[in-house]
């Protein structure tokens, strides 16, 4: 079984790519809804949660873990790997590298939680992969919570998206990296503002390919999916149609 987790619903955007890449694999998705959002928590708090979830997923038999959360990856992927040396761990990091390779204007933006924006890992990612490209890091407090509450049509959110994205476009940004897995569900809203001026960069498919490379025998299961949450698991099930995740709903055991 492959364990996939996030603070809440965001990692479902990664899970959608995973089930497509590994149609016969068995998955368990764990949403830490009792502790969402991670983006406003300290590294120590996030590490504690990630280690507890890793322990739980290892105990129920996961042979591979996917940290479907940029914030958790930045704060705790090293600690998770150290705690489970026998289990491959795939993390999610903002697609700075593909965005820097594709940009025509030489300016890209990365939208993240506050914790990711302040992380050493993001600074290193930019230093190592952006080259001469100018990178604007834009923390977006509250966005993940809007997704979590399924308030995707909230006018206040639409206004905040506009306030954050328009100045980036005015500075010539032509690639917008989704540096939080929750933001994939805001793509329609972001594209409404970006129009043809910028493209969105999402790494879900790249994460799925990396997981495929490491899956070995885990790729050959019976295609089942278990959904778990630390609070209100029923909301996780109810969110699937609202997030247009029929392909995930069809697999739930
Ligand atoms: N989905 C998470 C990420 O990719 C974090 C959202 C949150 O809990 O703040 O960063």
User: What is the average pLDDT across 200-208?
Assistant: 98
- Ligand 1 atom closest to Cα of 69? 4
136 pairs with which residues across the strands? 109
Closest CA to 185 of 223, 135, 231, 140: 140
- Ligand 1 atom closest to Cα of 71? 10
Any idea which fold 2-92+204-249 has?
Rossmann fold (3.40.50)
97 neighbors 199 (Cβ within 8 angstroms):
no
Closest CA to 190 of 168, 207, 208: 168
- Mean of pLDDT over the chain: 97
pLDDT tens for each residue of 115-130: 999 999 999 999 999 9
176 pairs with which residues across the strands? 109, 200
pLDDT tens for each residue of 70-100: 999 999 999 999 999 999 999 999 999 999 9
Closest CA to 211 of 39, 40, 3: 3
* Amino acid 10: pLDDT: 98
Q: How far is the CA of 55 from the centre of ligand 1 (A)?
A: 20
Q: How far is the CA of 121 from the centre of ligand 1 (A)?
A: 15
Choosing from 37, 185, 207 the residue with most ligand 1 atoms within 8 A of its CB, the one to mutate for a pocket test is 37
What would the CATH number be for the domain defined by 96-201? 3.40.50.1860
> Cα–Cα distance between 113 and 6 in angstroms, integer?
13
> Cα–Cα distance between 183 and 162 in angstroms, integer?
14
* Amino acid 149: pLDDT: 96
- Ligand 1 atom closest to Cα of 39? 9
- pLDDT band for position 4 (cuts 50, 70, 90): very high
Helix (H, G, I), strand (E, B) or coil at 154: coil
Q: How far is the CA of 69 from the centre of ligand 1 (A)?
A: 5
User: What is the average pLDDT across 137-146?
Assistant: 98
The yes-or-no verdict on residue 253 having pLDDT over 90 is no
Q: Taking CB atoms and a 6 Å cutoff, what residues make up the pocket around ligand 1?
A: 6-7, 10, 36-39, 69-71, 113, 116, 144, 180-182
The CATH 3.40.50.1860 domain(s) of the chain lie at 2-92+204-249, 96-201
- pLDDT band for position 236 (cuts 50, 70, 90): very high
Helix (H, G, I), strand (E, B) or coil at 129: helix
| Active site positions, annotated | 69, 180
Q: How far is the CA of 160 from the centre of ligand 1 (A)?
A: 18
**180 Cβ neighbours under 8 A, 6+ residues apart:** 10, 39, 69, 70, 71, 111, 112, 113, 116, 140, 143, 144
Percent of the chain with pLDDT over 70: 100
**15 Cβ neighbours under 8 A, 6+ residues apart:** 4, 27, 29, 68, 225, 248
The residue whose C-alpha atom lies closest to atom 2 belonging to ligand 1 is 69
- pLDDT band for position 106 (cuts 50, 70, 90): very high
- Strand 27-31 to strand 225-229: parallel, antiparallel, or no bridges (unpaired)? parallel
- Ligand 1 atom closest to Cα of 38? 8
Helix (H, G, I), strand (E, B) or coil at 71: helix
């Amino acid at each position: 079984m492959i364990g996939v987790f996030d603070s809440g619903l965001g990692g479902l955007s990664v899970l959608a790519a995973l089930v497509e890449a590994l149609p016969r694999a068995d998955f368990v998705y764990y949403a830490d809804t009792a502790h969402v959002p991670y983006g406003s928590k300290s590294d120590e708090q996030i590490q504690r949660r990630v280690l507890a979830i890793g322990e739980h997923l290892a105990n129920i038999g996961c042979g591979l873990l996917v940290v479907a959360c940029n914030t958790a990856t930045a704060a705790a992927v090293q600690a998770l790997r150290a705690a489970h040396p026998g289990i491959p761990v795939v993390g999610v990091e903002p697609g700075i590298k593909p965005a820097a390779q594709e940009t025509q204007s030489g300016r890209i933006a990365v939208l993240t939680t506050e914790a990711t924006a302040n992380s050493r890992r993001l600074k290193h990612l930019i230093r190592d992969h952006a080259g001469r490209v100018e990178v604007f890091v834009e923390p977006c407090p509250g966005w993940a919570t809007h997704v979590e509450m399924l308030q995707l049509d909230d006018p206040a959110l639409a206004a905040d998206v506009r306030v954050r994205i328009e100045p980036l476009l005015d500075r010539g940004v032509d690639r917008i990296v989704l540096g939080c897995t929750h933001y994939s569900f805001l793509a329609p809203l972001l594209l409404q503002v970006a129009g043809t001026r910028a493209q969105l960069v999402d790494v879900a498919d790249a994460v799925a390919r990396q997981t495929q490379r490491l899956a070995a025998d885990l790729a050959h299961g019976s295609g089942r999916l278990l959904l778990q949450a630390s609070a209100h698991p029923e909301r996780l099930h109810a969110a699937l149609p609202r997030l247009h995740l029929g392909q995930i709903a069809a697999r739930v055991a």
